[in-house]
Amino acid sequence: GQSLEQPSEVTAVEGAIVQINCTYQTSGFYGLSWYQQHDGGAPTFLSYNALDGLEETGRFSSFLSRSDSYGYLLLQELQMKDSASYFCAVRSGTGFQKLVFGTGTRLLVSP
C-alpha cells in the first residue's frame, strides 16, 4: 500500500519562507505531486517531481529525493492568500492513474 506523512500544521508570517515536508512509502513510484486547497475549495495542482531535484514555479518550489522517499514544498515570499491546506500525493493503482494523498498540512500565514 501507500502512505504519505506530512506535518499537520505550519505557521509563518507574511514575507517569510516555509517548507512543508512529505515522506512516503509506496510499492511503486511514479512521481510526487503537490496540491493546494483553500477552505471550501477544490484541490488545485501546484507542482510535480518525477526525478530527483528541485522544480521551481514562481514563488513555489518542490524538491524530491527518491532514495530518501522524501520531498518538500517550499513557499517563498509568503502572502496571506497562501493560507490553505497543502497535500502531497503519489500516483498508484492500475496504470498509476489514481492519486493517493497525504493527510495534508494546514498553513497559517499571519500579518
Partner 1 sequence: DTGVSQDPRHKITKRGQNVTFRCDPISEHNRLYWYRQTLGQGPEFLTYFQNEAQLEKSRLLSDRFSAERPKGSFSTLEIQRTEQGDSAMYLCASSIDRRGPITQYFGPGTRLTVL
Q: How far is CA 79 from the centre of its chain?
A: 17
Binding to partner 1 in span 45-104, by CB under 8 A: 45, 48, 50, 87, 89, 91, 93-95, 97-104
Q: Are 80 and 14 in contact (CB under 8 A)?
A: yes
CB of 79 to partner 1, least distance (A): 22
Task: Kindly indicate which of the ranges 10-18, 43-51, 62-70, 73-81 contains the residues binding partner 1, using the contact rule CB under 8 A.
Answer: 43-51
DSSP letters of 52-65? SEEEEETTEEEEEE
Which among 105, 34, 109 has a CA at the least distance from the CA of 77?
Answer: 109
Number of residues that bind partner 1 (CB under 8 A): 23
Task: Kindly indicate which of the ranges 15-23, 40-48, 58-66, 68-76 contains the residues binding partner 1, using the contact rule CB under 8 A.
Answer: 40-48
